[in-house]
Structure formats: structure tokens, C-alpha cells
Chain A
């Protein structure tokens, strides 16, 4: 890379050769001379990540190995300082969670996976459908596009409040709309089953625009000639979609599915704000469950940290696996 080569490199290496230094030191030195610009440029970020991300992460991992909670961590109330009294308990927390002994983890995990899969499938599917519709010459195209990305333009907590207003079981307009179509009205924010449908619906409403816009960009990068060739060969519109559009979109859909899964798995706002405290906990996904564990009642910091680390491990395993398999399918 030309940009990284430092001007004095050649004569300095020459000098380095003259002095009989151990090879490793001079290699290190050469590397330093060649790369110090790059390293200087990334230092601020590296420091921030180390201090604000890696250190707390390490601290979190450490906590997950203790029995820390609100009553035994160090605290200062006025002039009185209470030292920390929590103990190191090894992998007990993990065992407690993963063995199913806390009787919360597996139900939450199953629902989290169900929630992620249904949200992502609907978001990507509907987003792609709308993108295909929008990707053609027509009147009012700009208008449709602007209106369809509205749910993304509105801050997500506002969107959630708008839905909460509409879904109110007693006065909500949503029940009036669906009964007008002959569907039975529901206590959307009350019963667990209806809550689950409601949170998925709201999250899909929020998530479609991103997928639509991303797929629209992907559609425009597929060369027109491919469609012309397919048409020449007598391919039907459906065949053209399956054999030209879908493969052409693969890089985009692979990325949006991965991002969608990560975002949905970690989605806090929709569930926490739509239901508030009117929930039995059945609709909590892992993230909101851990949040409640950490900050309601007697804060269970160790338990929440354990959940956090488990969630992170699940996501990293999933994305590694996903990227491997998509890379393979892209190369094949």
C-alpha cells in the first residue's frame, strides 16, 4: 500500500541491517516505522473501545462469576461508604441458568427465537415485496416511497407510543378497524397471546422500511441485460424473479437478514415500551427479561450479567455460523 510507506523507510532499513541487532527487534522496528501513521490514527478509537467497551465487558464477565446484587455491591450513601461484600462463585450462575434451574431461561429463549424469526421473515419478505413494486416507472413513486419509509423516520419510541394508543383495549381505534373487517376484537396489551402478536406487528411495522430501501438499492444494481436475456429465453415473470432477482439480491438480503436478526434479538424499545409493566413476563425476550432482572426489585446484577454474556455468546455464534454459510453459498 503506497499510502503507508514512510518516506525514510529505505535508508532506515539499511541502517538497521548494519547494526547487529536481534532479528525480531528490527522486524518490530521496521513494522513500527511502516505503520506508525496507521496506528496513530486508530489510537483514539482503540483507547475508547478498550476503556468503554472491553473493560466494562471484562467487568461484566467477572460479575457474572459472582453473586453481586443490590444489597452487597459497594455503595456510598451520603458520608457512609459500604464496601462490597459479594463473593466469587465460579460458574454457578451459568449452571443455574443453562441447566434450566431458574425456569426462566428456556421459555424466554424459545420465545426470543420465535420472535426474531417471525419478525425478520415478515420484515424482509414484505420489505422485498414493496421494493419490487416500487422499482418501476409509475406515477406518485416518490410519494409512495416517502410515505412508506415514514415508520423508520419516526423515532422508534414514538412509533411504539402511537401503537400503544391505537391498541388500547377499551378505546383503541385498532379494535374498531379490525371489527369493521369482521375480525374479533382482542385485549391487545393484556393477554399473553395477543401481546405477542401485538409486539411482532409493531416491530414489523417499524422494521419494513429499512429492508425495503436496502432491497430497492440492491434491485437497481442488477444489470438490466439479465432480465432482457431471461425474457428472450421465454422466462415467465415468476421465473425471472426466482432466477434473476433473488440471486442478484443475495449480497443485500444476506446482510439485511444478519442485521435484522441481531437488531430484533436485541430489540428493547418495542417490548419494554409497548407493554410497560402490564406484563406477566410472558412476552419478555431475553434482553428485556435481563433488564428487569437488573433494575427492578432487588437488582440482581450477577444474574443480569450472566444473561448478557449468554445473549452475546448466542449472537456471536449465530453470526459466525451465518456468515460462514452465506460465504459458502455466495462462492458456490
Chain B
């Protein structure tokens, strides 16, 4: 795994650094940078940081103001309060949507991780007829546009009376979560040395025993990352949730649209809700992101 874990060991090579000057100038070490290069570097990064952070900062800023702050942002500074937050938490369905989203996202994650862990392991360690086809299926389902399955699933769920039902939405999300989790976990299992399995087998464990007692404990960080990521994906899904759920079962992504309507959006509530939704998601994300990218790209490069 080439993961981004070794920050400190990163070589300091600078593309902006001029080629070694041959003559009289003070010789500069490879690791150093001139003042101009330094300014350019930090200047660019500060600009990029501003662009990256501004929309989030702006919606936070507006959320602190009165109702019409989005029309007159200046007002926020005069009338600065958490009023929108207390308001939206006590006078809207936001707490209910929150609960709905936690149930659906949690269910999806549990289903995805438990079902996919063994499959990821089997594909990672054993050569068996069908393993290539299975990996191929995992890959292709990642490619499915949501529209391919949404219509048939919608009609099927309506036949089974699973529309407007937690289980129905969880099953719909499982169509992407299960292959995704299997794909990610195969990547993580690939990083655990095979010798560990062999040692376990020599000591008389069955393949399943090896998996359960040796590999799962070692792969816990990978399992956690996969779980968090599929949680976050379900947390932010829009298309299925919009069609499948009625107002009592709205998830956050659908519910927030009842504030941010096309006509006459209520930006005070929308912005406060946005921040409330973002904080837990962003915290979880920041915890897992380092291992996430290596998992996503490793699966792709190795297969």
C-alpha cells in the first residue's frame, strides 16, 4: 500500500526550485527554497484554501444571522445568534429526519460490511472458479447509474409494499453498498501477508477459523473505514430517498429540500440544518479519509 501515511518521510522536492546554479551565487541546498518560491507556494495554497473553505464558511456565517440574512449578509454581524439552530431543532421535523437517516445509513452499513467481509476475503485469498466473474460484477455495479436500478426497484418495492419503509431503502442502498464494501475489503485483505493465513492453517484452523480469528482482527481498521464510508454514502444519497420515502420517513437529504424549495427557499433554516448535518459527517470523514483513498485506488490498480 502506497498510502499517504508517511507524511514525515515525504521527500521535499520542489518543482519550483531552480536548477542548481553553476556560479558565484550562494549555493542553496536541495531542500531549501528561495523567498520568491516560498511566497508563490504559500500564496497559491492560501488562495486554494480560501476557495475550498469559503462556501462552507459562508453558509455557517449566514446560519448565525436573522431570517433575512441571506439577502443582507451585513445583518449577521449586528444580530448574531444561534436562534436558527434552536428554532430548527425544536420547530421542524429535523430530529425525526436525523433519526431516519441514522437508521437507514446504519442498516445499510451493517448489511454491507457483514455480507461483504467474507466475500472480500475469499476473493483476496482463494483462487476459485467464479472469483474473476465476481470481481468483475463488483466493478460493473460501481458503474451502474442510479437510474438503471431505480425504476425496477421502485416497481418491485411497490409490489412488495416496501416503499416508504426503512427496509426498502436499506435494500435499495445495498445494491451499491455490498459490492463497494466487498471491493474495498478485498483491497485491505490483500495488504495482510498471506503467511499469517498459512501459519493459522498449519496450526489447524479451518479457512473460516483463519478468517475469523486471525484476519478480521488484523483488518479492523480497514473494516472500520469501509463501514464509515458506506455510512457516509447512504447519509448523503438523494435520488432513491427522494422517490422512495414519504414525509414521515424523509432522510436528511430529502428533508432539507423542504426548506430549500425552488421558490422562496428558507435559507435561515436551510443553512442551520446544513451545518448540523455537516458536523458529524465531516468529523467522521476526517478520521477515516487517510485510509480511504488508498483503499479505493488499490482495488483499481491491482485487479
Whether A1 lies near B262 (C-beta < 8 A) is no
Tell which of B44, B206, B277 touches A158, judged by Cβ atoms closer than 8 Å. Answer: B277
Chain A residues within 8 Å of B260, by CB? 161, 164
- Chain A's closest residue to B172 (CB) is A52
A194-226 interface code vs B (CB 8 A; 1 in, 0 out): 000000000001001110011011101100100
Chain A residues within 8 Å of B223, by CB? none
Nearest CB in chain A: distance from B193 CB, A = 13
Which A105-143 residues have C-beta < 8 A from chain B? 130, 132-138, 140-142
Residue A166 is within 8 A (CB to CB) of chain B in the complex: yes
Count of CB-CB pairs between chains A and B under 8 Å: 329
Chain A residues within 8 Å of B70, by CB? 165, 168, 171
Which B245-303 residues have C-beta < 8 A from chain A? 253, 256-257, 260-262, 267, 270-271, 274, 277-278, 281-282, 285-286, 289, 293-294, 296-297, 300-301
Whether B147 lies near A35 (C-beta < 8 A) is no
Residue B81 is within 8 A (CB to CB) of chain A in the complex: no
Chain B residues within 8 Å of A258, by CB? 300
In the complex, identify which listed stretch (B83-91, B92-100, B137-145) lies at the interface while the others stay far away: B137-145
Tell me the complex Cα distance, A96–B81, Å.
Answer: 57
Which A274-332 residues have C-beta < 8 A from chain B? 276-278, 286-287, 290-291, 294-295, 301, 304-305, 307-309, 311-312, 315-316, 319
Whether A136 lies near B14 (C-beta < 8 A) is yes
Interface of B is mostly: helix
Whether B143 lies near A155 (C-beta < 8 A) is no
Chain B residues within 8 Å of A205, by CB? 51-52, 55
Q: Given A217-B297, A255-B297, A291-B147, does the pair A44, B119 have CB atoms closer than 8 Å?
A: yes
Tell me the complex Cα distance, A307–B148, Å.
Answer: 8
Q: Given A45-B178, A148-B48, A236-B19, does the pair A3, B201 have CB atoms closer than 8 Å?
A: yes
Q: Given A137-B10, A220-B10, does the pair A57, B148 have CB atoms closer than 8 Å?
A: yes
Residue A241 is within 8 A (CB to CB) of chain B in the complex: yes
Residue B102 is within 8 A (CB to CB) of chain A in the complex: no
In the complex, identify which listed stretch (A14-22, A87-95, A180-188, A260-268) lies at the interface while the others stay far away: A260-268
Q: Given A42-B134, A152-B285, A155-B232, does the pair A294, B256 have CB atoms closer than 8 Å?
A: no
Nearest CB in chain B: distance from A114 CB, A = 18
Tell me the complex Cα distance, A202–B4, Å.
Answer: 26
Chain B residues within 8 Å of A4, by CB? 125-128, 207
Chain A residues within 8 Å of B71, by CB? 170-171
Whether B238 lies near A157 (C-beta < 8 A) is yes
Whether B145 lies near A35 (C-beta < 8 A) is no
Residue B182 is within 8 A (CB to CB) of chain A in the complex: yes
Tell me the complex Cα distance, A137–B33, Å.
Answer: 10
Whether A217 lies near B58 (C-beta < 8 A) is no
Chain A residues within 8 Å of B13, by CB? 135-136, 224, 227, 240
Whether B44 lies near A44 (C-beta < 8 A) is no
A23-59 interface code vs B (CB 8 A; 1 in, 0 out): 0000000010011011111101110110011001101
B66-82 interface code vs A (CB 8 A; 1 in, 0 out): 00001111000000000
Interface of A is mostly: helix
- Chain B's closest residue to A305 (CB) is B151
Whether B294 lies near A1 (C-beta < 8 A) is no
A152-183 interface code vs B (CB 8 A; 1 in, 0 out): 11111111011111101011010000000000
Tell me the complex Cα distance, A135–B214, Å.
Answer: 36
Whether B278 lies near A155 (C-beta < 8 A) is yes
Chain B residues within 8 Å of A144, by CB? 45, 48-49
Nearest CB in chain B: distance from A221 CB, A = 4
Whether B62 lies near A217 (C-beta < 8 A) is no
Q: Given A269-B238, A273-B238, A312-B143, does the pair A35, B15 have CB atoms closer than 8 Å?
A: no
Residue A60 is within 8 A (CB to CB) of chain B in the complex: yes
Chain A residues within 8 Å of B48, by CB? 130, 144, 148
Whether A276 lies near B262 (C-beta < 8 A) is yes
Residue B31 is within 8 A (CB to CB) of chain A in the complex: yes
Nearest CB in chain A: distance from B127 CB, A = 5
Tell me the complex Cα distance, A262–B126, Å.
Answer: 29
Whether A237 lies near B122 (C-beta < 8 A) is no
11 residue pairs A–B, Cβ–Cβ below 8 Å:
A41-B118, A59-B152, A134-B45, A136-B12, A138-B42, A158-B278, A168-B70, A171-B70, A217-B297, A237-B18, A308-B151
Supplied contacts A45-B182, A217-B293, 17 more A-B pairs, CB within 8 Å: A1-B126, A2-B197, A40-B208, A41-B121, A41-B207, A49-B137, A56-B153, A59-B156, A147-B52, A157-B238, A205-B52, A217-B297, A259-B300, A265-B145, A305-B152, A312-B144, A319-B143
